[in-house]
Amino acid sequence: MLEIRNLHARIVDDGTEIIRGLSLTVKAGEVAAIMGPNGSGKSTLSYILAGREDYEVTEGDILYNGQSILGMDPAERATSGIFLAFQYPMEIPGVATMEFLKVAMNEQRKARGEEPLKIPEFLRRVKEAAASLSMDIAMLKRPLNVGFSGGEKKRAEILQMKLLEPKLCVLDETDSGLDIDALKIVSEGVNALRAPDRAFLVITHYQRLLEHIVPDTVHVLYKGQVIKSGDKSLALDLEANGYAGVIGEAA
Amino acid sequence: MNMHTQPQRTPAETALIDAFGDRLSLLPGDGAVMLKRDDAIEAIKHGLPTRRIESWHYTDLRRLLNAVPDFDPAAAVKAVAPIVEGSAVLAVLNGVSSAKLPDIEGVTVQRLSEKLTDGSIAPGLDSYGSDDAIGALNTAFVADGYFVDIADGAELAKPIELQNRQAGGQTHVRLPVRVGAGARATIVERQAGEGAALVSSVSQLVLGEGAEVTWLIVQEQPETATHLAQFKAHIGKNAKLTLFVMNAGGKLVRQEIMVRTTGEGADFTLRGINLLAGDTHTDVTMVLDHTVPHTASTEVIRNVVTGKARGVFQGRINVHQYAQKTNAKMACNTLLLSDDGEFSTKPELEIFADDVVCGHGATVTEIDHDHLFYLMARGVDEKTARGLLVKAFVAEVIEELDDETIVEALEAKLDDWFVTHG
């Protein structure tokens, strides 16, 4: 489903190279965990997948279902099924959450040649998804993410993911800022979406999240490269021994 | 010998002075009113204000007003449905009020032409000062409008919509409104029309003790019209005025707002939206006088600038010596969406009291790229995402009005503008 080939990318503003020859393959139905120390390029990778303009790919390619996505803008990537759950979801004053959800769902439907959702059907879906994440529907009447707590923002991200039904879900440090109860709710939300035709890229600093969202593969990112891949036992190994050993091995 | 040289008159100045000569016999008014008219046209004969006059520095009226249309009372124009359903509509069409006045409980309405003829309005034809060009223009030519008196304690269930519409030509209208003690009302002042028009419109509001009024100015003149307007208000003891101004049209627009808190506990809120497009010039100039202790005001102006549009906000707050415990806050935020557009902000605080809380702030920004990325990352295409963000920037101000029907009506107006200019 996702194939990243020898990717090199830098920050447009100052030319700093962050991703330095990253290769990674994620198959449909797979949950791949990306782990790595701070500054290894984890969040950058998620932004590049979503198409953020602050980064420039200088070499290599990203293939999604066999097609390069490098020429696509963020909206085109999203409508093709790529979803990024942000580490720090943006607060957008003046845009009502409900209105935003409706626009996003219908824009994606439009791009796929589907009819816009009728209001009752839209409301039914939102209510159902909110209930499954223990979210108060009243919160959705507020402007997007404005005044939401850290945990509420993360839940709102998973809510959007549920409603938009993407094929490739990139979760950027979804566990950060969550207490254990919220972590469980969010993880259950993610697990409920696991499907043979859907892949997950779970970016995290800690093994904790992976107890709840059990990965099929684990990849260690360091200095913009995948330096080691393995199964879920790799995550446990990292938790026990830290990154130093793996980094030493690779060097 | 003292020689006073007058600069050569512009075609617009000449046209106005000639028009006054032509119109004089048709203008209603008793002796006192006619004297005020004479004084007013004398002020115009001294020349329209230029950028050398401080309060007109960013809007050089003499240079910008380059054509004055004729009077055209025969042009066809009709009243339209009010923006809030069920409102009582008082329409001034091509500068003429209607003989058929609606029956509104607790409200007395008179045609202004009658009050000009009998002279009872003469004391209200005052001038704000030597730079009061709009007041002078209006006083010289005003022929009609409505006088609205809301009785003490009256609570109006539905808004009154004052509709000033014209199909080109000149119209000069005055809308004095008195709101009695403890009365509550929502008043919509709607300014729109077609063609190459010159409109002057002066609204005068007096709020009695404890009165509460929401006044909405919705200006949607065509991009061929010059719209010169004044809103003057006196806010009495414990009275509360919320003024909302939306400029969404016009070629040359100046909306002056002169407000005075005249009783302790008076409260003034100004919220303004300027949606500027094309090759146009829009100026909102406010002068607010806190003259007594314990009064409060907040002003928030949001501007969206596209195309080659130019916008101005001048906000002057005078806190008089005895106006202790004044609380005044002013903000002006601009979203600049084009390299050719511009916006000038001039906040001024003049404080003579020593125990007050006053502040102001101004920002000019572009669309936030992080916000844009977030919306696009959810599949919203760039154009739609930008539209959402621009709308959000101004809708925030509208949503502060706590009346749902009014919020919806104004957001519909906002949508109209975005459909045309998005």
How far apart (Å, rounded) are the C-alpha atoms in residues A154 and A183? 9
How far apart (Å, rounded) are the C-alpha atoms in residues A166 and B300? 41
Give the chain B residue nearest A165 (alpha carbons): B378
Q: What is the largest CA-CA distance in chain A?
A: 58
Chain A partners within 8 Å of B370 (Cβ): 90
Look at residue B127 in the predicted model and tell me its pLDDT.
75
Q: Identify the band that residue A241 occupies on the pLDDT scale cut at 50, 70 and 90.
A: confident
Give the chain A residue nearest B379 (alpha carbons): A75
Residue type, position A21, single letter: G
How far apart (Å, rounded) are the C-alpha atoms in residues B157 and A79? 47
Give the chain A residue nearest B393 (alpha carbons): A94
Exposure pattern of B1-23 as b/e (b: 16+ CB <10 Å)? eeeeeeeebbebbebbeebbeeb
pLDDT, tens digit, for every residue of B16-26? 999 999 999 99
Q: Identify the band that residue B73 occupies on the pLDDT scale cut at 50, 70 and 90.
A: low
With 70 as the cut, is the pLDDT of residue B243 above it?
Answer: yes
Paired residues of A33 in beta bridges? A202, A218
Q: Identify the band that residue B4 occupies on the pLDDT scale cut at 50, 70 and 90.
A: low
Closest to B146 measured CA to CA, from B180, B184, B187, B194: B187
Give the chain B residue nearest A73 (alpha carbons): B376
Give the chain B residue nearest A93 (alpha carbons): B392
CB contact under 8 A, B377 and A103: no
Which of B365, B371, B376, B383 to mutate: most A Cβ within 10 Å? Answer: B376
Look at residue B289 in the predicted model and tell me its pLDDT.
95
Mean pLDDT of A169-191: 88
With 80 as the cut, is the pLDDT of residue B129 above it?
Answer: no
Strand order, beta sheet including A225-230? A82-85, A168-172, A199-204, A31-35, A217-222, A225-230
Look at residue B222 in the predicted model and tell me its pLDDT.
95
Q: Is residue B291 a contact partner of residue B317, using CB atoms and an 8 Å limit?
A: no
Mean pLDDT of B83-103: 94
CB contact under 8 A, B379 and A93: no
How far apart (Å, rounded) are the C-alpha atoms in residues B268 and B288? 9
pLDDT, tens digit, for every residue of B333-391? 999 999 999 999 999 999 999 999 999 999 999 999 999 999 999 999 998 999 999 99
Q: Is residue A239 a contact partner of residue A230, using CB atoms and an 8 Å limit?
A: no
CB contact under 8 A, B378 and A78: yes
Mean pLDDT of A129-149: 90
Look at residue A243 in the predicted model and tell me its pLDDT.
85
CB contact under 8 A, A164 and B378: yes
* pTM for this predicted structure: 0.87
Distance from CA of A79 to the nearest CA of B (A): 5
CB contact under 8 A, A95 and B369: no
Terminus-to-terminus CA distance in chain A, angstroms? 30
Q: How many CB atoms lie within 10 A of CB A242?
A: 11
Give the chain A residue nearest B398 (alpha carbons): A94
Handedness of CA A43, A46, A50, A55 (dihedral sign): positive
CB contact under 8 A, B380 and A104: yes
How far apart (Å, rounded) are the C-alpha atoms in residues A231 and A219? 8
Residue with tokens 């009709």: B78
Look at residue B10 in the predicted model and tell me its pLDDT.
94
Give the chain B residue nearest A89 (alpha carbons): B374
CB contact under 8 A, B395 and A94: yes
Which of B377, B388, B395 lies closest to A103 in CB terms?
A: B388
Look at residue B5 in the predicted model and tell me its pLDDT.
60
Q: Is residue B334 a contact partner of residue B303, using CB atoms and an 8 Å limit?
A: yes
Which of B273, B368, B374, B397 to mutate: most A Cβ within 10 Å? Answer: B374
Look at residue B419 in the predicted model and tell me its pLDDT.
83
Reported ipTM: 0.95
With 70 as the cut, is the pLDDT of residue A62 above it?
Answer: yes
DSSP 3-state assignment of A25? strand
Which residues in A have their CB inside 8 Å of a CB on B? Answer: 50-53, 73-75, 77-79, 83-84, 86, 89-90, 92-95, 100, 103-104, 107-108, 111, 143, 160, 164
Strands (E), B77-183: 88-93, 96-97, 107-111, 144-150, 160-179
With 90 as the cut, is the pLDDT of residue B275 above it?
Answer: yes
CB contact under 8 A, A75 and B376: yes
pLDDT, tens digit, for every residue of A67-98? 999 999 999 999 999 999 999 999 998 888 99
Which of B370, B376, B393 lies closest to A73 in CB terms?
A: B376
Mean pLDDT of B220-240: 97
pLDDT, tens digit, for every residue of B284-324? 999 999 999 999 999 999 999 999 999 999 999 999 999 99
- On average, the pLDDT of chain A sits at 92
Which of A53, A75, A143 lies closest to B379 in CB terms?
A: A75
Q: Identify the band that residue A251 occupies on the pLDDT scale cut at 50, 70 and 90.
A: low
Look at residue A205 in the predicted model and tell me its pLDDT.
84
CB contact under 8 A, A89 and B393: no
Of chain B, the percentage scoring pLDDT greater than 70 comes to 98
Q: Is residue A170 a contact partner of residue A50, using CB atoms and an 8 Å limit?
A: yes
- On average, the pLDDT of chain B sits at 93
Fold of A2-90+166-250: Rossmann fold (3.40.50)
Give the chain A residue nearest B397 (alpha carbons): A94
With 80 as the cut, is the pLDDT of residue B239 above it?
Answer: yes
**Angle, helices A97-111/A150-164, rounded to nearest 10 degrees:** 30
Q: Identify the band that residue B3 occupies on the pLDDT scale cut at 50, 70 and 90.
A: low
Chain B partners within 8 Å of A74 (Cβ): 373, 376-377
Backbone angles phi, psi at A61, to 5 degrees: -155, 160
Distance from CA of A51 to the nearest CA of B (A): 8
Look at residue B207 in the predicted model and tell me its pLDDT.
98
Mean pLDDT of A111-133: 93
CB contact under 8 A, A53 and B373: yes
With 90 as the cut, is the pLDDT of residue A239 above it?
Answer: no
Paired residues of B215 in beta bridges? B187, B243
pLDDT, tens digit, for every residue of B390-417? 999 999 899 889 888 999 999 999 988 9
Chain-centroid distance, C-alpha B309:
19
Look at residue A249 in the predicted model and tell me its pLDDT.
79
How far apart (Å, rounded) are the C-alpha atoms in residues B400 and B216? 13
Count A/B contacts: CB-CB distance under 8 Å: 75
Chain A partners within 8 Å of B376 (Cβ): 51, 73-75, 78
Mean pLDDT of B129-140: 92
Chain B partners within 8 Å of A92 (Cβ): 371, 374-375, 389, 392
Mean pLDDT of B63-77: 84
CB contact under 8 A, A94 and B391: yes
Which of B273, B333, B378, B397 to mutate: most A Cβ within 10 Å? Answer: B378
Chain A partners within 8 Å of B369 (Cβ): 53
How far apart (Å, rounded) are the C-alpha atoms in residues B258 and B289? 8
Look at residue A240 in the predicted model and tell me its pLDDT.
85
Which residues in B have their CB inside 8 Å of a CB on A? Answer: 369-371, 373-382, 384-385, 388-389, 391-396, 399
CB contact under 8 A, B381 and A94: no
Look at residue A245 in the predicted model and tell me its pLDDT.
81
Look at residue A38 in the predicted model and tell me its pLDDT.
86
Q: Identify the band that residue B6 occupies on the pLDDT scale cut at 50, 70 and 90.
A: low
Lowest-pLDDT range of A38-47, B67-76, B180-189:
B67-76
Pick A178 or A5 by higher pLDDT.
A5
Residue with tokens 């890229």: A201
Which of A74, A100, A143 lies closest to B373 in CB terms?
A: A74
Backbone angles phi, psi at A210, to 5 degrees: -75, -10
H-helix or E-strand containing B204?
Answer: strand B184-207
Q: Identify the band that residue B166 occupies on the pLDDT scale cut at 50, 70 and 90.
A: very high
CB contact under 8 A, B382 and A78: no
Q: Identify the band that residue A150 occupies on the pLDDT scale cut at 50, 70 and 90.
A: confident
